[in-house]
Chain A
Amino acid sequence: MSHEHHQLDLTGVGYHYGKKEALCDVGFSVHCGQRLALLGPNGAGKSTLIRLLAGLLPQQSGSIRWREASITRARREIAYLPQVDQHQRHFPIRVKDVVAMGRFPHLGHLRRFRKIDREKTAEAIDLMSLGDIAHQQIDQLSGGQQQRTFIARALAQEAHVLLLDEPFNGLDIESRCHLSDSLIDLTKSGHLIIASHHQLESVTQIFTHALVLDQRQVEFGKAIEVMESEAVKQTLHSCHPHAHGRAL
C-alpha cells in the first residue's frame, strides 16, 4: 500500500468568507509517509485549510495539487474525518455500516455492494481492531473507538490522505496513545496524515512536520525545528501567555 512518492503541493492558497480573510498565501509540500500538524490559535485558518483540502470549500486562490494534478480530480484518495461529536446523535447505525460508507466513491449511487467492497470493509475493520464491536451502535462507543471507526472508513475508502479535524479532542490518555500509535502505523503503510492539533506538548511525539498558521503561514518544516522557532513561539503563545505545555 506504499505511495511515498505521492506528493501534495500547495502554492499561494487563500480563502475569504465574504470580505473576511481567513487564510492568505499558504504554500508547502508534503508527501505520503509524513504526519503534518496544523497549529495556530483559534480562528487561525486550520479548519478552513482542512475543509479546502477536503473539497468542502471551493478553491478561491492559489493551487492545490495532488500527485501533480488538481486535487479536485482525486477526491476518492482524500478522506475527511470530522470531530467525533459532529455526526448526528442517536442515529441507528452500526460500526460496520459507518466503515462501509467509505466505499461510496467506488460504488456511486446505483452500483450494488460487491465482494471487493465487503473485503475492503472487513480489512479496514480488522486493521483498526474493531472486529469485536463491528455490530455495535456507533453511539455506544467511546470517543477513541469512534475515531478508530472513522479512520477505518478512510481505509475502506482506500484514501491516501487522511484529513483529521482535532482528532485528539476529548480523548482520555489511553485513547490518545492508541490514536497516535494508529496514525504512526498509517504513515508507515504509506498514508499522509494532516491533522489540526491543539496540544503543543505532544506535537513532536506524534507528528513529523508542522505548519503554523495565523491566517497566514507563519512557519512550516520538520516538527522539531518548527517548535523551536522564535516566530512560532510568539504566535502560539501570544494569545495564551501561559500556554506552554498546555492545550491552546
Chain B
Amino acid sequence: MDELFKIPLYQRAILATLIIGFVNGYASAFVLLHRSPLKLTALSHSLLPGVALAAYFVGLGVLSAFFGAVVAAIIIGVLTVLLSRVTKISDDTVLAVLYTGAFAFGIMVLQRIGSNQDLENWLLGNILGLSDLDLWMSFTVGIVAVTLLSLFRRAVVINLYDPEVAASLGIRTHLLEYASFAILILVLVTTLQAVGCILAIGMIVTPAAIVRPYISSPETLFPLSGFTGAAGSALGLYLNIYFDLPGAGASIAATLAAIFLLSVILRSIFAK
C-alpha cells in the first residue's frame, strides 16, 4: 500500500486534497456563521454555465473560469432579486428555479463543447487528474483566500453577528459582504476541478459543522475548521485509494459527512 503513495499522481492528489481541504474548511466557518449553505449550493450550480461559456469562448484557465463564474453568479443574483420583486415570489423559490435552469444550461454547453468525461469531471471532479499548474493555482488561491479572511476576520465576525452594529462601528458592510462572496466564488472555482460543483458544497460547508459543537468563539472556529477540512478530506482520499473505491471526490464528501455524524454523536454522549 505504501508503494501506492510513492506514485507522483497520488502524492500530488494528497497534497491537493490537503490544500483544498484546508481552504474550504477555513471558508466553511464563514458559510456556517453566515447561514448561507443553501445560497452556496445555488451559487456552485450557477457557476457551471459561466465556467462552460468561458471555456468555450476563451479557453479554460483559472482566471477565465473565475470571471465566467463571477459573471454567472452576478446575473443569477441580480435576476433573483428583480424577479422576486416583480413576481412577489420568495427569493428562495426564484433562486431555486434560476440555479437549476443555469445548471441545466451549463450541462448542455459542456456536452456541446466536450465529451461526457469532461462533463462528469465538472460535475463530480477529478482530483487524481490535477496538473501541476492546477495545484499551484489552488495553492495561490488558498493563500489569498485564507489571508484575506484572516486579515478582515474581526470585521467579518462583527458583520455576521449584527450587520447594523457593524455599520454603526464604521464597517463598510456591503463591501465586506461582496468581497467575502468573491472569495467564496474563487475558492469554489478551484474546488470544482477537484471534486466537481455538486460535491464542492460538502467541502465548503461540512468542516465547520463538524467543529461547531465543540467551540465557543469564531477565533477558534476558522482555523479548526481549516484543519478539520484538510484532515477529513485527506482521510477520504486515503480511504478511496486504499479500498480502491470509485470516485475520489465522492469518497471525500462521504467521509466528511460521516465525520460530521460521528461528531454529533460524540457531542451528545459527552454532553450528558
Which A residues form the contact surface with B (CB < 8 A)? 54-56, 75-76, 78-80, 82, 86-88, 91-94, 97-98, 101-102, 104-105, 107, 109-110, 135, 137, 153, 157
Distance between A78 CB and nearest chain B CB, rounded to angstroms: 7
Q: Would you call B216 and A101 a contact (CB within 8 A)? A: no
Distance between B219 CB and nearest chain A CB, rounded to angstroms: 8
Known: A55-B167, A76-B170, A94-B217. 16 other contacts (CB 8 A): A79-B168, A80-B168, A86-B164, A87-B161, A88-B33, A88-B160, A91-B33, A92-B212, A92-B215, A94-B216, A97-B217, A101-B158, A107-B154, A109-B154, A110-B151, A135-B216
How many interface residues does B have (CB within 8 Å)?
A: 25
A interface footprint on B204-220 (CB within 8 Å = 1, 0 otherwise):
00000000100111110
Within 8 A of A (CB), among B110-157: 151-152, 154-155, 157
Q: Would you call B217 and A93 a contact (CB within 8 A)? A: yes
A interface footprint on B17-45 (CB within 8 Å = 1, 0 otherwise):
00000000000000001010000000000
A interface footprint on B175-214 (CB within 8 Å = 1, 0 otherwise):
0000000000000000000000000000000000000100
In angstroms, Cα B156 to Cα A104, docked, is 11
Q: Which residues of A contact B170 (CB under 8 A)?
A: 75-76, 104-105
Would you mind naming 12 contact pairs between A and B with Cβ atoms under 8 Å apart? A75-B169, A75-B170, A80-B164, A80-B165, A91-B33, A94-B216, A97-B217, A104-B155, A104-B169, A109-B152, A153-B165, A157-B169
Q: State whether the Cβ of B52 lies closer than 8 Å to any Cβ in chain A.
A: no
Q: Which residues of A contact B160 (CB under 8 A)?
A: 88, 91
In angstroms, Cα B154 to Cα A195, docked, is 28
In angstroms, Cα B170 to Cα A135, docked, is 26
In angstroms, Cα B165 to Cα A104, docked, is 11
Q: Which residues of B contact A98 (CB under 8 A)?
A: 161
In angstroms, Cα B219 to Cα A240, docked, is 48
Given A56-B164, A82-B162, A91-B33, A105–B169 Cβ distance below 8 Å?
A: yes
Which B residues form the contact surface with A (CB < 8 A)? 33, 35, 151-152, 154-155, 157-158, 160-162, 164-165, 167-171, 212, 215-219, 221
In angstroms, Cα B33 to Cα A87, docked, is 12
Q: Would you call A101 and B169 a contact (CB within 8 A)? A: yes
* Chain A residue with the shortest CB-CB distance to B212: A92
In angstroms, Cα B151 to Cα A79, docked, is 24
Q: Would you call B161 and A88 a contact (CB within 8 A)? A: yes
In angstroms, Cα B158 to Cα A137, docked, is 15
Distance between B242 CB and nearest chain A CB, rounded to angstroms: 35
Distance between A120 CB and nearest chain B CB, rounded to angstroms: 14
Given A92-B221, A97-B217, A110-B151, A104–B164 Cβ distance below 8 Å?
A: no
In angstroms, Cα B152 to Cα A110, docked, is 7
Q: Which residues of A contact B212 (CB under 8 A)?
A: 92
Across the interface, A104 reaches (CB within 8 A) one of B151, B171, B218, namely B171
Q: Which residues of A contact B171 (CB under 8 A)?
A: 104
* Chain B residue with the shortest CB-CB distance to A96: B217
Q: Which residues of B contact A56 (CB under 8 A)?
A: 164, 167-168
Q: Would you call A88 and B217 a contact (CB within 8 A)? A: no
In angstroms, Cα B160 to Cα A101, docked, is 12
Q: Which residues of A contact B152 (CB under 8 A)?
A: 109
Q: Would you call B215 and A104 a contact (CB within 8 A)? A: no
Q: Which residues of A contact B218 (CB under 8 A)?
A: 92-93, 97
Q: Which residues of B contact A101 (CB under 8 A)?
A: 158, 161, 165, 169
Q: Would you call A91 and B161 a contact (CB within 8 A)? A: yes
* Chain B residue with the shortest CB-CB distance to A82: B164
In angstroms, Cα B155 to Cα A100, docked, is 12
